[in-house]
Amino acid sequence: MAATREATADAEARIAALEAQLAAERAARATEQAALAALTIEHDHLRLAYQNLQHELALLRRRLFAAKAERLDTAQLELEFATKLRELDDLNRRLGAPPPVEPPAANGGDKRTRRAATKPTGRRDLRLLDLPEERIELIDPVLEGTAKRIDWDESCKLSWRRAGFVRLVIARAKYRDTGAGGDETPMLVTTPPPPALIPRGLASPALLAHVLTEKFCDGLPFHRQEDRLAKKLRAAGHHVVRASAAAAPGSTR
């Protein structure tokens, strides 16, 4: 009887120990399952953030390309682009994904070669034309005499006077401003430009007035003006496009 009782007590003790071990393993398994669920949710969130960053990066690339094509200040866009690119690389490392590969060029060659092969575009340099020159210098009445004038910011327009075409040079004074007391951080200040009828246009108000007068007062069509102006400007290296003259009335409204 005593031996039976001892065996029964040993069995009950082993069963209790096994039950306690089973309960501990179940608790550990529940903890691991909860951690796995949390990691899965975090992984899903990271993947969604990765996809959103890819979309934002593509949008910034388009905005950056458009801004460069329009010759705007792209410094802020380039900073945003670099920030998003770093965030995208960090998510790549956390997700264990390979880094994105830049798409190859369309012709499979180097970008510099492809860019050099394209036809150069942009604003014409009127200084290359063999034309008489008129110069207008603009100064800042507030800074003149109080700040040091260091240079001129020059831009050219095509103008008209009774004798023919002239190259109008608008020179805006640049100043090194150190404040009223002279102890502030130096700043480069440029005299504001005068109001323009057509922003970034090559034609001066005098030339626009000449084109419109011949069109609406003298009845001379734009294609006749193109032929007449081309004879005077082709020798100087400038080509007049009829669309440029035709756009003048609509641009000044």
CA atoms of 172 and 82, how far apart (whole Å): 35
Phi, psi of 64, deg, nearest 5? -65, -40
pLDDT of residue 172 exceeding 90: yes
Number of domains in the chain: 2
What pLDDT is attached to residue 101?
Answer: 55
Of 61-70, 123-132, 179-188, 209-218, the range with the highest mean pLDDT is 209-218
Which pairing describes strands 164-177 and 148-161: parallel, antiparallel, or unpaired?
Answer: antiparallel
CA atoms of 202 and 196, how far apart (whole Å): 10
252 confidence band (pLDDT: 50, 70, 90): very low
Tell if the pTM clears 0.85, that is, is over it. Answer: no
Among 72, 95, 118, identify where a domain stops: 95
Q: For 37-81, what is each residue's pLDDT tens digit? A: 888 888 888 888 888 877 787 777 777 666 555 555 566 667 777
pLDDT of residue 247 exceeding 80: no
What pLDDT is attached to residue 253?
Answer: 42
- Report yes or no on 242 lying in a domain: yes
Nearest alpha carbon to residue 225 among 244, 206, 251, 238: 244
- Report yes or no on 44 lying in a domain: yes
Phi, psi of 183, deg, nearest 5? -115, 10
C-alpha 75: how far from chain center? 7
Greater pLDDT, 4 or 97: 4
Helix 205-216 and helix 242-251, axial crossing angle in degrees, nearest 10: 100
What pLDDT is attached to residue 224?
Answer: 85
What b/e readout covers 139-164, taking b as 16+ CB neighbours within 10 angstroms?
ebeebeeebeeeebeeebbbbbeeee
What pLDDT is attached to residue 90?
Answer: 77
Please check whether residue 61 is in contact with residue 88, taking contact to mean a CB–CB distance below 8 angstroms: no
- Report yes or no on 52 lying in a domain: yes
- Report yes or no on 245 lying in a domain: yes
